Amino acid sequence: MTITAAADGSALGNPGPNGWAWYIDDDNWAAGGSPHGTNNQGELRAVLELLQATADSSESLLIMCDSKYVIDSITKWMPGWKRRGWRKADGAPVLNRDLMESLDEAMQGRDVKFAWVKGHAGHDLNEAADERANAAAKAYQAKQEPRRGPGFTLGSDASTGSASAQKSIPIPEPVGGPAQPLWAEASSLLDVFEVPEPVEGPAASAIDLHVTLTPDEHARLRDRAQAQGISLEQALRRLI
């Protein structure tokens, strides 16, 4: 079986608040974004998030994009960029290198094909991805938490209706007040973790803390770290 999905990005102002989304069906989609980015970054992130979400699937993947830049970057230009140390033919550094390197890694060993579709032309999957990416960008513009979707659930046990352990947990819609701003202090995520009691004495400087995050928790923490201009590791340290 081939999984067919659409991936799309959006940016308000370009650059500005941006969003990304991938969409398979109403039970399998995800969205996110950042307070500041470009449309191309949203497009690339959508494909990367889709590849990562389906990494444990053995099915082939068909990704439909309305961005020829994304398709050509992955299928045509990337081998040459890598040979030249992530530089273009004219010697200039490749734009969005961090995303390109992550995409290159995510593509390894995968059976993935790409197809270009015209944007805003009534293609059902593309329209669904575009709508969710744009909604995420608008959420960041309004300093609200975007709807992230259920994630990839095709590995669910259909006979019992229980999802696999890797399924993302959807964030409920805000009720009775404004959504929590993404750039709130990282300590607002403390309820996600079970943090051990403080250790006093010499041993306190040699504590190893191991935290397991669901894909949704990781996405939320990553977005908040980006919004505060810090690394994911720094965000985790702030929690401690």
> Which of 88, 114, 141 is a domain's end point?
141
Q: Residues 152, 54: contact at Cβ < 8 Å? A: yes
Q: Residues 216, 150: contact at Cβ < 8 Å? A: no
Same-domain status, 14 and 114: yes
Catalytic-residue membership of 43: yes
Q: Is 176 helix (H, G, I), strand (E, B) or coil?
A: coil
Reply yes or no on whether the pLDDT at 86 is more than 70: yes
Reply yes or no on whether the pLDDT at 192 is more than 90: no
Residue 15: is the preceding peptide bond cis (ω within 30°)? Answer: yes
Please give the residue range of the domain that contains residue 210: 186-239
* C-alpha distances out from residue 153 to 1, 24, 110, 165, 192, Å: 15, 10, 19, 10, 22
Catalytic-residue membership of 120: yes
Catalytic-residue membership of 66: yes
Reply yes or no on whether the pLDDT at 108 is more than 70: yes
Same-domain status, 127 and 49: yes
State the catalytic residue, choosing from 66, 145, 216, 223. Answer: 66
Q: Pick the range with the lowest mean pLDDT from 45-59, 63-77, 163-177, 190-204.
A: 163-177
How large is the average pLDDT for residues 228-232?
61
Residue pLDDT, tens place only, 137-150: 999 999 999 999 99
For residue 202, being part of any structural domain is answered with yes
Same-domain status, 119 and 6: yes
Q: Is 172 helix (H, G, I), strand (E, B) or coil?
A: coil
Catalytic-residue membership of 111: no
For residue 224, being part of any structural domain is answered with yes
Confidence band, pLDDT 50/70/90 cuts, at residue 218 = low
Q: How many whole angstroms separate alpha carbon 99 and alpha carbon 44?
A: 7
**Structural domain count of the chain:** 2
Confidence band, pLDDT 50/70/90 cuts, at residue 216 = low
Strand partners, 162: 157
